[in-house]
Amino acid sequence: MRTTLTRIAVASLSATAVVGIAACGPGGAPSVGAPTSGGSTSSSSSAAPTSPSSPSTPSTSSTSPSSPATPSTTTSSSSDSTSAPAGTALPAGCSTKLSPQMAALRYGQPAVYKDDNGTTVCMTVKKLTVAPESAYGGTVSKANGTLYYMTVNYANVTGGTKQVETGDMNQLELHPIFSESQTGKTLYSSVPGCDNDSDYTPIPAGQSRDTCIAYQITGATVTSSVYDNYTLRYTWK
């Protein structure tokens, strides 16, 4: 569960070579192509892998924020939001028809699946952008890598016995794809320009909500994203 804005928890995303996959906590990340310039990234879809990956699950521990390969807890100067945005209608393509277990998608295309509670949900990675220079400072040092903002829409399609919220998305399974020579970390709380204050506000059935997830990754610019929970694997480019 994410911390409030007064704390930024960082989970390590360490690399391991399993078909070019780098581990992101318990999630894996295959290698990407040549670096591109910063800003919003997108490209045409590619063929889905023939079988889901089985990345390793490295342990985490508390340490100083100086190393991107180990988790740490630091304070943030941001203040808590006083209100959460209202839910919006389901995005185009979000229906009760489930997506295949594996799919190669373009940014803005949805993946529909059942969550652990049997509720049909819809995840749409809308874009992956390089954060502006103004985002660095305080506890976020550029020496630890490039900061990326991933904008995601999460929809409660059918409703169920348990409430649905954007915080249900596991950011160790949803993350940018980077090569095994790179390391990275997830910033679990809001940073300037990347707000996730409403992540634990319930989303009513038939509605959706956007959130932003911040990642910091060393090395070449990354352009693709993946959701991989060992059973489902969706990539966005």
Confidence of residue 170 (pLDDT cuts 50, 70, 90): confident
Cβ-count burial 200-235 (b if 16+ within 10 Å, e if not): ebebebebbbbbbbbbbbbebbbbbbbbbbeebbbb
Token pair in block for residue 214 = 């911040």
Choose from 17-31, 47-61, 190-204 the range with maximum mean pLDDT. Answer: 190-204
Which positions ≥6 away from 23 have C-beta within 8 Å? 13, 14, 15, 16, 29, 55, 56, 57, 58
User: What is the percentage of the chain residues whose pLDDT exceeds 90?
Assistant: 49
DSSP state at residue 68: T
The rounded distance, in Å, linking the Cα atoms of 161 and 183 is 38
Tell whether the model's pLDDT for residue 32 goes beyond 80. no
Nearest Cα to Cα of residue 56 among 18, 19, 12, 10:
18
The rounded distance, in Å, linking the Cα atoms of 155 and 194 is 19
Confidence of residue 13 (pLDDT cuts 50, 70, 90): low
Phi (first) and psi of residue 15, to 5 degrees = -95, 145
Reported as a single tens digit per residue, the pLDDT across 75-108 is 333 333 333 455 789 999 999 999 999 999 999 9
Token pair in block for residue 113 = 């699946």
Q: Look at the pTM and tell me if it is higher than 0.85.
A: no
Between CA 12 and CA 125, with CA 209 as vertex, the angle to 5 degrees is: 50
**Confidence at residue 86, expressed as pLDDT on a 0 to 100 scale:** 56
Token pair in block for residue 128 = 């992956």
Tell whether the model's pLDDT for residue 4 goes beyond 70. no
